[in-house]
Amino acid sequence: TTLLQFKKVSKQYGSSTVALSDVNFSVNEGELVSIIGPSGAGKSTLLRCINRLIDATSGEIIFDGMDVLSIGRRNLKKLRTKIGMIFQNYNLVERLSVFENVLHGRLGYKTALVGALGFYHEEEKARALEILKSLGLEEQIYKRCDQLSGGQKQRVGIARALVQEPRVLLADEPIASLDPSSSKVIMDHLKNICETFGITVLVNLHQLDVALNYSDRIIGISSGRVVFDGMPSALTHDA
């Protein structure tokens, strides 16, 4: 079944920069889709239109039956809880612990400060712990994030996204700041999350080899336009 659909989506910044131009594609539930293209192609803009961190200029985005571009404030919150996101630069609260960052994902920043004083529900803590363990972070739980390696920080980012029990995980260049071995760990986790929990994954990458290895499908974009949409095998067999 279709989880996400872009119909003639365009995004213009200011009066001259066209970041997305007439973008059409759809994503099925449980797919791992890589979005590839050079820097400036529009990949980050595309992902951010899905959870409305950015507002598309025109077109239609349907996510899980919701008309993303026309929903109001209250439903925007509901939309965002279904969408987890991770970033190239992690976007963690560096001076808080791993555990606090992960709980902050579900409860919001203010609540994280309250939670630091010990007011989380036991079931929320148990769930966060379980997710952190599954990502190999059991020994880092009480460390501050500024003491972690890049690969560990990105795993905290994944954990923070997963505690909210999202339908989809958006990953914006999640391995662009990591060395090859940490990159493999992160991509293996994304694949595993997709296969084990059926969470749909959309991942921006600029390395074609990684996309070929891990994706069910690849969407290529260049200058804001979709220039390829197909299985990895279509790219390898054509060459």
- Which residues contact ligand ADP by CB under 6 A? 13, 17, 19, 37, 39-45, 51, 53, 80, 83, 85, 87, 89, 91
- Least separation in angstroms between residue 76's CB and ligand ADP is 9
Kind and range of the H or E element at 170?
strand 168-172
Q: Give 41 or 163: the residue with its C-beta nearer to ligand ADP.
A: 41
Q: Give 94 or 130: the residue with its C-beta nearer to ligand ADP.
A: 94
DSSP 8-state symbol, 51: T
Task: Return the SS3 of 79.
Answer: helix
Q: Give 34 or 51: the residue with its C-beta nearer to ligand ADP.
A: 51
- Least separation in angstroms between residue 180's CB and ligand ADP is 21
- Least separation in angstroms between residue 99's CB and ligand ADP is 17
Q: Give 110 or 237: the residue with its C-beta nearer to ligand ADP.
A: 110
Q: Which amino acid is at 215?
A: S
Question: Please, which residues bridge with residue 228 across strands?
Answer: 220
Q: At what angle do helices 122-134 and 98-107 cross, to 10 degrees?
A: 120
- Least separation in angstroms between residue 106's CB and ligand ADP is 11
Phi then psi dihedrals of residue 66, to 5 deg: -95, 140
Residue 73: which residues within 8 A CB-CB, separation 6 or more? none
